Structure 1
Amino acid sequence: MTRGPKLLFLATVLAGGAALAAPTDDLAAPHLDVIPRTAEESARIARIVQPASDLTAAEPFEANPAGAATVRARSDADAFSLPSGNIPFERELDFKVGNGLFRKLWVSSPSSTRASDGLGPLYNARSCQRCHLKDGRGHPPEGPDDDATSMFLRLSVPAAPDQEMSEIEAFLLSIEDATPRTRPEPTYGGQLQDFAVQGHAAEGKLGVTYEEVEVELSDGETATLREPTYTVENQGYGPLHPDTMLSPRVAPPMIGLGLLEAVPAADILAHADPDDADGDGISGKAQIVWSFEHDRPMLGRFGWKAGAPTIREQSASAFAGDIGISNPIFTAPGGDCTDAQAGCLSAPHGDDEVRGQEIDAEGLDLVTFYSRNLGVPARRDIEDREVLRGKQVFYDTGCASCHTPKFVTHRLEDQPEQSFQLIWPYTDMLLHDMGEGLADHRPEGRATGREWRTAPLWGIGLTEQVNGHTYFLHDGRARSLLEAVLWHGGEAQEARDRVVGMPKPDRDALIRFLESL
Structure 2
Amino acid sequence: MKKLRLYCIHTTTLVLFLLLTNCSDDNNSNTNTPDPNNELAEEYYSGGKLGTTFNTTPYAYEQPTPAVEESSEMSLQFKYGEAFFENPYLTNTSGMRHGLGPAYVRSSCITCHPGYGHGKRMEQYRSKDYGNGYLLVVTDANDNYISQLTGMPQTQAVAPFLPPIDESGIKIEWLNHTDEYGNQFPDGETYSLIYPEVTIDRSAFNVPMPDYYKVRLEATIGIYGTGLIDAIHDDSIIAEYQRQKSLGYTLNDAKYQPENFIKEVDGTSHPGRYTYGLTRGTLQNGPGANAIWNITNVTRSDRRYHYITEAYAIAMSKNTDIQKALGQTEQEIYDYLMSKELTPEMTDEEYINFMVWHRGLAVPAARNLDDPVVQQGKKKFLEIGCASCHRPSWTTAADDYAGDPMVKGKLPRYPYQKIWPYSDFLQHRLEMVNNIRTGWCRTTPLWGRGLSQKCTGASDHLHDMRARNYTEAIMWHGGDAKFAKQKYRNLSKEDRDALIKFLESI
| Alpha-carbon distance, 1:297 to partner | 3.2
| Alpha-carbon distance, 1:273 to partner | 3.9
State the distance in 2 between where 1:229 and 1:330 align. 35
Distance 1:189 1:209, change over 3 A: same
Which segments of 5 or more consecutive residues in structure 2 lack a partner in the other structure? Answer: 1-37, 318-332, 401-408
Q: How do 1:152-301 residues align onto structure 2 when only pairs under 5 Å count?
A: 152-157=135-140, 182=144, 184-202=145-163, 203-205=165-167, 206-214=170-178, 215-233=183-201, 235-238=204-207, 240-273=209-242, 276-279=245-248, 281=249, 283=251, 285=253, 286=255, 288-301=260-273
* TM-score, reference length from structure 2: 0.77
1:310 aligns with 2:274: no
**Aligned equivalent of 1:42:** none
| Alpha-carbon distance, 1:60 to partner | 4.6
Distance 1:347 1:463, change over 3 A: farther
Distance 1:340 1:255, change over 3 A: closer
Q: How do 1:334-353 residues align onto structure 2 when only pairs under 5 Å count?
A: 334-342=306-314, 343=316, 346=334
| Alpha-carbon distance, 1:431 to partner | 0.9
**Aligned equivalent of 2:71:** 89
**Aligned equivalent of 2:491:** 502
Q: How do 1:301-380 residues align onto structure 2 when only pairs under 5 Å count?
A: 301-313=273-285, 314-332=287-305, 334-342=306-314, 343=316, 346=334, 356-380=343-367
| Alpha-carbon distance, 1:284 to partner | 6.4
Distance 1:71 1:412, change over 3 A: closer
State the distance in 1 between where 2:351 and 2:434 align. 34
Query: Given residue 307 of structure 2, which amino acid in structure 1 is its aligned partner?
Result: G
| Alpha-carbon distance, 1:247 to partner | 3.7
Question: Which one of 491, 500, 503 corresponds to residue 511 of structure 1?
Answer: 500
**Aligned equivalent of 2:34:** none
Query: Given residue 505 of structure 2, which amino acid in structure 1 is its aligned partner?
Result: S
C-alpha distance after superposition, 1:210-250 (max 9, x if no partner): 11124111210111010211112461415632343534221
**Aligned equivalent of 2:46:** 65
C-alpha distance after superposition, 1:312-366 (max 9, x if no partner): 322232133211122345432x3224334333764978x999x942224332222
1:463 aligns with 2:435: no
**Aligned equivalent of 1:425:** 421
Query: Given residue 177 of structure 2, which amino acid in structure 1 is its aligned partner?
Result: V
More moved, 505-514 vs 234-243: 234-243
C-alpha distance after superposition, 1:181-203 (max 9, x if no partner): 94x42332322212111222232
Would you say the 8 A contact 1:186–1:340 is kept in 2?
no
**Aligned equivalent of 1:480:** 469
Question: Which one of 389, 395, 400 corresponds to residue 402 of structure 1?
Answer: 389
Would you say the 8 A contact 1:273–1:284 is kept in 2?
no
Q: How do 1:436-447 residues align onto structure 2 when only pairs under 5 Å count?
A: 436-437=432-433, 439-440=435-436, 442=437
C-alpha distance after superposition, 1:280-329 (max 9, x if no partner): x4546545443352344321111112111122322232133211122345
**Aligned equivalent of 1:54:** none
**Aligned equivalent of 1:489:** 478
State the distance in 2 between where 1:438 and 1:368 align. 35
State the distance in 1 between where 2:250 and 2:205 align. 43
State the distance in 1 between where 2:125 and 2:432 align. 27
1:101 aligns with 2:84: yes
C-alpha distance after superposition, 1:360-394 (max 9, x if no partner): 43322221111111111111101001100110111
**Aligned equivalent of 1:74:** 55
Query: Given residue 207 of structure 1, which amino acid in structure 2 is its aligned partner?
Result: K
CA-atom RMSD, angstroms?
2.9
